[in-house]
A and B are shown apart, each in its own frame.
Chain A
Amino acid sequence: MLQDLSQYILDIAENSLKAQASSVEIEVEEDTRENVLRLRVTDNGVGMDSEQLSMVENPFFTTRTERRVGLGIPFLKQAAETCDGSFEIRSEKGRGTVIEASFRRDCIDCPPLGDIPATVMALMVGWPERSFLFRFRFNDDIFETGTEELLQVLEDRELFASAEVALWISRYIEQGIYNLRTGGNEGFEEDHQP
């Protein structure tokens, strides 16, 4: 079982990349009025047919050959359902896959969000040639960033491999989420921990 939702997001996005997605969209939505937390990972990878799709929630189904169990998706589904939430995978062969999970925010078993900035950073460093879009929605407000926006400044995908750039990305996202939650950009401390 993974520790928090940011680790599930990383795990699902890694699946997308192994499915040859050139672009992966990650959305996290916190709605304090509806008391819901939603995750959505959308990719344009190879997708799955209905037979594969029906097996993917089974922990003893995996396409990998290195080991014979695939636990990421079954655990996320279980975590969502434990928290009065829902879990859904939609996929189309040749088009891509969408995975959505929702949780009741104040459920005692709801996994913490965890270090979302580190997840996005790890993806951008590990897969510099792919494109990521990250969107965090807090009630009506949105923070969004992604490979394409950062490339307008960096101009060179190889710079994602630079430690200084990677750590900047993590701080930038951390601040973006912090600003959404606090309703402004005042008071963000460099050493703030979410």
Chain B
Amino acid sequence: MKKITSLEDLRRIKEQSKDLTSARSGGKTRIIVGMGTCGIAAGAREVMTVILQELDRRGLKDVAVETTGCIGMCQKEPLVDIIRPGEPRITYGDVGPADVPRIIVEHIVNGNIVEDKVVGQTD
């Protein structure tokens, strides 16, 4: 099927998603991807793309995706932090695209930390 992407589609997405504007405000889960040179070299942008695809596929609208620079753990990039409201900040390391669905389902949807990928925790 041929489909032309147009600004009209964007208008439709906007109209259908009035509730999206809450995505960056407080009380929402935050996903933070390390996008320094080290993260980019390790594949952080691909991980971010898969995160967005997974959120879109599952219709998870109350999750904000953000980026940050190098935090000095370059050897463990790609790094992905997840902060659920009222919970500690969990840092996952060496995250590949294949790890993303598991982290999203287990941690973001079900609230269970994926222990084998954790490299840090900050309260």
Binding site for B on A (CB under 8 A): 1-3, 7, 10-11, 14, 18, 64, 66-67, 70-72, 115, 118-119, 121-122, 125-128, 149-150, 153-156, 158-159, 161-168, 170-172, 175, 185, 187-190
Contact = CB atoms under 8 A, between A and B. Distances in A.
B109 interface: no
Contacts of B3: 188-190
Contact of B56 (A66, A154, A167, A188): A167
B114 interface: no
A156 B52 contact: no
Interface string B1-34: 1111111011101100100110111000000010
B48 interface: yes
Given A7-B41, A155-B14, A163-B61, 5 more contacts: A14-B37, A118-B49, A126-B66, A164-B13, A165-B17
B65 interface: yes
A162 B5 contact: no
Given A7-B41, A72-B37, A128-B24, A165 B46 contact: no
A187 B2 contact: yes
B119 interface: no
B82 interface: no
Secondary structure at the A interface, as helix, strand, loop or mixed, is: helix
8 contacts: A1-B41, A71-B37, A126-B67, A165-B14, A165-B17, A170-B49, A188-B2, A190-B3
Contacts of B96: none
Interface in B48-74: 48-49, 51-53, 55-56, 60-61, 63-67, 69-72, 74
Given A161-B65, A165-B13, A2 B52 contact: no
B52 to A, nearest CB: 4
Contacts of A127: 67
Nearest to A187: B2
B35 A171 contact: no
Contacts of A67: 38, 70, 72, 74
